[in-house]
Structure 1
Amino acid sequence: MVEWLPVDHQVWLVLDVVDQLDLAVLTGWYARGGVGRRAYDPAMMLALLVYGYANGVRSSRAIERACHSDVAFRVICAQDPPDHTQIARFRKRHLEAFSDLFTQVLIVCARAGYVRLGIVAIDGTKVAANASIDATHERDWFAGKVAAMTDEAAACDAAEDALFGAGRRGDEPPDGMSGRGAAGRAERAARLRQCLDELAVEHATQAEHTRVQAQHATDYLAQARAGQPRRGRPPRGVDPVALAQAIAEGHAAKYGPEHRYTRRAAKAATTKAETAATEAETATTKAETATTKAETAATEAETATTEAETAATGQRGTPAAAADGKAGHKTGPRRNSTDPDSRLMPTRKGFIQGYNAQLAGSQDHFVVAADLVQDTGDVAQLQPMMAKTSHTADTLRPHRPDPDADHATIGTALADNGYCSDANLTADGPDRLIATGKTHDLTTAATTHPASGPPPEHATATQRMHHRLRTPEGAALYKKRGATIEPINGTLKDRGNFRHFLLRGLQACRAELHLAATAHNLRRLHNLLHNPQPAT
């Protein structure tokens, strides 16, 4: 079989690397000796998964088919293909091992002289969950479903008690013979209750957050009326007209009614009030038009329903309204009944039901850290990802042929404006460049208004970062962000076919992300070994 494929084929590298890994975390699960058939070799099963994920073949059934028809897969399994159920169970059984195997593969890459950390780019990408967005509902929908299931179960129990007698199932064995039977709670009912409990907690949290925001808005308006200085942008929920009027009152109290500041503020308040009134009138007109259209549609729907009831024979009663939780505008928290851990994620092409995958990439395009979160935004993920990346650098250093080289430690971490905050800019850790705005705006500013020297003495953290990004050195360094992390995202999703998860649940999907990152790193190692590139 060695003659079936060229010596530089990717499958040989996968097999060689798997042979170097410490697979005690896998082999310790299996019994030694005893009765029963021998299990498939865990090293072979791992190689199948890694090679499959590296080439976009992720489904257990697709891997099974490839083991019969694809030469590389036949080489891995030595022409003894496992069943797709065994592949799927192996993947699900060893989820906790994939994070450790990800680190071990990185160590192999570092021993080969790769994983250069002079520049590290951090980015988030949305990955769809193994769940339909149509299965996402609000709290009332889950409460109605749970109540309906409970009522249905109670009615069914009462009917069976009347038919078979209390305490009997109807399929008991004859007298004198023992039998056992236990009805477990349905998995779907458990998921629905989990969603309902989480939504109750989130509703309470949301109410407290709304109360705090309202208090901040009230305090902000009070400071404006008193003529006191205010820091930052107005809190969410502050009415712009009320704020303009409060500023005018504050100027009048501080400078007098005839001061130019007071007159200017009063004019601005009047203009805002007139604009708001015009917008409200326009909105009212649109709402009236929409109401008229809705009433017309409701009348047409009622007419169609009446005609359908008349046409139906043997049907009586009024059709029940479908309580699917989808009608109307959704403003509250929602959960997915198929994968309760997944969340609605905004993307450039709309919303998806999925997760936010956080990746850190080295300047030679290896994934050095990966995590999966439920947060739709990235700002809270920078410090955890920098900590994971620093831990990776410390882990790899003893295994490098040149542990004291500059690329063995993190030089500069690059991130887009989704990670920009004062806390992230001032946190402990390695040097970082975080965009303070859109990339094209930063490029324009660096070209038309370049900066030099140190930032102003009393500048904020964001202003200091913006100043640095306008310097020729800062602008040139930040340009490397896209060229560092975007190829990794594109390769994972296109070559690795990693646009959606096969598993369900946050922990399982996080393990699958580590498996996909491991496969990516091996594919990258193979490309560099057979197509060497000059160091940058």
Structure 2
Amino acid sequence: MSYRPYEPEQEMLLPASLQDWLPKGHLAYFIGDSVDALNLKAFYARYDGGGSRNQPFHPAMMVKVLIYGYATGVFSSRKMERRLHEDLAFRMLGAGNFPKHRTIRDFRALHLKELSDLFVQVVKLAQEMGLVKLGTVAIDGTKIKANASRHKAMSYERMQQAEIELKAQINALLERAKTADAAEADAPEVDIPAEIERREDRLKAITEARQRLEQRQREADIARGRSDDDDRRPRDDGGNPKGGRYKREFGVPEPKAQDNFTDPDSRIMKRAGGGFDASYNAQTAVDGAAHIIVAAELGNNAADVGQLVPMLQAVKDNTGMVPEQALADAGYRSESNFEALADSPTDLVVAMGREGKRCAEIDATAMPRTAAMAAKLQTEEGQTAYRKRKWIAEPPNGWIKSVLGLRQFSLRGLQRVQAEFKLVCLALNLRRMGTLSTA
């Protein structure tokens, strides 16, 4: 049998070009060219004044590697470091540079704001390519797990119990330290100062978590119209009792309310398949022309209703345009939202309830704009418009979770996670743009 030549030890006469090994139209080329077209002055500004002995890796190279990593589902700095040695596309973007994972991690942490700000530049680039029309925009939310262990969370009720237990243990250890003498010579040897310090640290962490829960509850109670002297009795606008009683004192959380020690900014949210996780609520506004995400925001409130107005404002801020039509599911329905957007040139279509379920009658006197929206959805025009929502809004969320594989954030803290989500969305946009540009 005659085979094609196979000489693993054969060295090349001339240096190989990585560009020759990647096929034309590869995503790495598109991301490299796109980053070169972006304004990276904010990245360079951090290194102004550095001398010849202070030579960091080139910011453009680091940005390309990070974005390509996120666009291909590689979020870990350790995996990026390994890919720079093993993956042709990473090696081509790195151009002979091999930053360690700590360098990649620190660059991302140091430039989180600059990286998230690139999202708007990518949206404008998509506009220039004709991929954003703003004829119809669909808004949707999805819950993404926080980088927080479910075993590092505690309920309000358990916090109160743990504080009492730890204070008793600390007092017992202090008493033992005072009376330690020959009478305890046969007792097991214990490093009492270290044990006291460990318990005090634990007590401090639990106390801070309890105070965070109480502060959130106070803010929620104030939003409901309560005050710290309401004597647990609901009152009307004039301050007069109107019957009934609140279950708990002002600012006291439910016994089952939880706080997480590893990421206190996260909140317990219900996941789609059942159960609960420490999560964040990610919001996207997707343009109907090419499924480009034109606004990406994130918060730690599980409800979507407060995000409709901010998301439409973000679309205008990012693109400089107002969409002709905006679609949203029933999670965004509220009289206050409809009132705030009453004078907007955008044609708003918001569902009244879950598909296939009959909606309760709406009091047109109390909620005139909600009643008007319900009437609009009964028309053929309204139904036709709303049918477009699912195939516009939901695919990008599916791509983020199933194609890129982002089911849990890498970073912790609300501001850091907000920036990471925008980095994910700009990477997905570039991936989508790259696909459409070679189609």
Does TM, normalized by the shorter one, top 0.5?
yes
Shift of 1:377: 0.6
120 and 74 in structure 1: CA distance in 2 versus 1, 3 angstrom threshold: same
Other structure's SS at 2:57 match: coil
Q: Partner of 2:353 in structure 1?
A: 437
Higher relative contact order (CA closer than 8 Å, sequence separation 6+): 1
TM-score, normalization: structure 1? 0.64
Other structure's SS at 2:134 match: coil
TM-score, normalization: structure 2? 0.78
Question: What are the within-5 Å matches in structure 2 for residues 454-473 of structure 1?
Answer: 460-473=368-381
Query: Counterpart of 1:138 in structure 2: which amino acid?
Result: S
Bigger shift: residues 201-210 or 522-531: 201-210
Shift of 1:390: 1.8
Question: What are the within-5 Å matches in structure 2 for residues 28-177 of structure 1?
Answer: 28-34=45-51, 36-142=53-159, 148=166, 152=170
Q: Does 1:509 align with 2:408?
A: no
426 and 200 in structure 1: CA distance in 2 versus 1, 3 angstrom threshold: closer
Q: Does 1:342 align with 2:361?
A: no
User: Any conservation in 2 of the 1:357–1:371 contact (CA below 8 Å)?
Assistant: yes
Q: Does 1:386 align with 2:285?
A: no
Query: Counterpart of 2:211 in structure 1: which amino acid?
Result: D
Q: Partner of 1:199 in structure 2?
A: 213
User: Any conservation in 1 of the 2:137–2:326 contact (CA below 8 Å)?
Assistant: yes
Question: What are the within-5 Å matches in structure 2 for residues 128-277 of structure 1?
Answer: 128-142=145-159, 148=166, 152=170, 192-205=206-219, 209=224, 214-215=233-234
Query: Counterpart of 2:261 in structure 1: which amino acid?
Result: S
Bigger shift: residues 142-151 or 418-427: 142-151
Q: Bigger radius of gyration, 1 or 2?
A: 1
Q: Does 1:410 align with 2:314?
A: no
Q: Does 1:351 align with 2:279?
A: no
212 and 95 in structure 1: CA distance in 2 versus 1, 3 angstrom threshold: farther
414 and 39 in structure 1: CA distance in 2 versus 1, 3 angstrom threshold: same
User: Any conservation in 2 of the 1:191–1:340 contact (CA below 8 Å)?
Assistant: no
1:152-173 Cα deviation digits (max 9, x unpaired):
599589969x99xxxxxxxxxx
User: Any conservation in 2 of the 1:203–1:333 contact (CA below 8 Å)?
Assistant: no
Question: What are the within-5 Å matches in structure 2 for residues 296-307 of structure 1?
Answer: none
Shift of 1:426: 2.0
1:96-133 Cα deviation digits (max 9, x unpaired):
11231111111111111112211111111000000122
Q: Partner of 1:520 in structure 2?
A: 428
Other structure's SS at 1:58 match: coil
User: Any conservation in 2 of the 1:48–1:73 contact (CA below 8 Å)?
Assistant: yes
1:503-530 Cα deviation digits (max 9, x unpaired):
0000000000010011011011111111
Distance 1:154 1:106 in 2: 62
Distance 1:440 1:423 in 2: 25
1:164-194 Cα deviation digits (max 9, x unpaired):
xxxxxxxxxxxxxxxxxxx9xx997775454
Other structure's SS at 1:522 match: helix
Distance 1:27 1:121 in 2: 36
1:359-398 Cα deviation digits (max 9, x unpaired):
111112111111111111111111111111121231xxxx
Bigger shift: residues 354-363 or 142-151: 142-151
Other structure's SS at 1:439 match: coil
Q: Partner of 1:490 in structure 2?
A: 398
Q: Aligned residues, how many?
A: 382
Shift of 1:431: 2.1
Distance 2:373 2:22 in 1: 52
Q: Does 1:368 align with 2:294?
A: yes
User: Any conservation in 1 of the 2:234–2:246 contact (CA below 8 Å)?
Assistant: no
Shift of 1:59: 0.8
Q: Partner of 1:15 in structure 2?
A: 32
Distance 2:308 2:154 in 1: 30
Query: Counterpart of 2:234 in structure 1: which amino acid?
Result: Q
471 and 500 in structure 1: CA distance in 2 versus 1, 3 angstrom threshold: same
Query: Counterpart of 1:128 in structure 2: which amino acid?
Result: K
Distance 1:492 1:32 in 2: 39
User: Any conservation in 2 of the 1:202–1:333 contact (CA below 8 Å)?
Assistant: no
Shift of 1:355: 0.6
Other structure's SS at 2:276 match: strand
Q: Give the RMSD, CA atoms, in angstroms.
A: 3.6
223 and 18 in structure 1: CA distance in 2 versus 1, 3 angstrom threshold: closer
User: Any conservation in 2 of the 1:425–1:434 contact (CA below 8 Å)?
Assistant: no
Shift of 1:141: 3.9
- Percent identical residues: 36
458 and 111 in structure 1: CA distance in 2 versus 1, 3 angstrom threshold: same
Judging by fraction of residues, say which structure has more helix: 1
Bigger shift: residues 378-387 or 207-216: 207-216
Distance 1:24 1:189 in 2: 46
Q: Partner of 1:172 in structure 2?
A: none
1:282-341 Cα deviation digits (max 9, x unpaired):
xxxxxxxxxxxxxxxxxxxxxxxxxxxxxxxxxxxxxxxxxxxxxxx9645321011100
User: Any conservation in 1 of the 2:339–2:369 contact (CA below 8 Å)?
Assistant: yes
User: Any conservation in 2 of the 1:26–1:42 contact (CA below 8 Å)?
Assistant: yes
